[in-house]
Structure 1
Amino acid sequence: MGELVAHLERFGYVAREPDPADRRARLIVATASGRAALALAARHIHRIEQALAAELGPESLDRLRAALARVPAAIADPSDPPSESGRS
């Protein structure tokens, strides 16, 4: 997670700010660029979901979502190859 935050920070999508409730902690907040990127991603996701719903129908889309939710993160992340047993 730390690497992801550092990467997003380097590209200006997030910033670290002091946590007013705990001076030892830092909050990770989206910058204006980060919020714009999130909005753009949301529009693309919405468009893709509309196309899938039109092609598959709402019930099949719901089944697809449920199936994808069961996919372990290690399988979905190609940079983290599974172990020999097939599990990370």
Structure 2
Amino acid sequence: MINVFNSPIEASSIDEFAEGRSDQQQVFEKRKRRPKVEYTSDGRKFIDGVMEDEQTPNALWTTTISRGVANDWRAKAEGGPFYRAKRYG
């Protein structure tokens, strides 16, 4: 059976079997790794096993109390739900 490798190799065709140069640019870029995102049953988000937005209990309580006070002030400034019911009722 005759195939390409049965014929003698000429010096001009030796470039076909040469290895590529190492200084050449890559044809394809390496694929970027996507971070692994997981959610716990209580709704916390973990990215690659690290909690995304970890807050201390003191910071959470400060935010809760501040929002509660701000909502009370807004309700007093707007008259509250009883004031609106009395006014329009």
Q: Taking structure 1 as the reference length, what is the TM-score of the superposition?
A: 0.32
Higher helix share: 1
Q: Taking structure 2 as the reference length, what is the TM-score of the superposition?
A: 0.32
For the pair shown, which has the larger CA radius of gyration, 1 or 2?
2
Whose RCO is larger (CA < 8 A, sep 6+)? Answer: 1
Higher strand share: 1
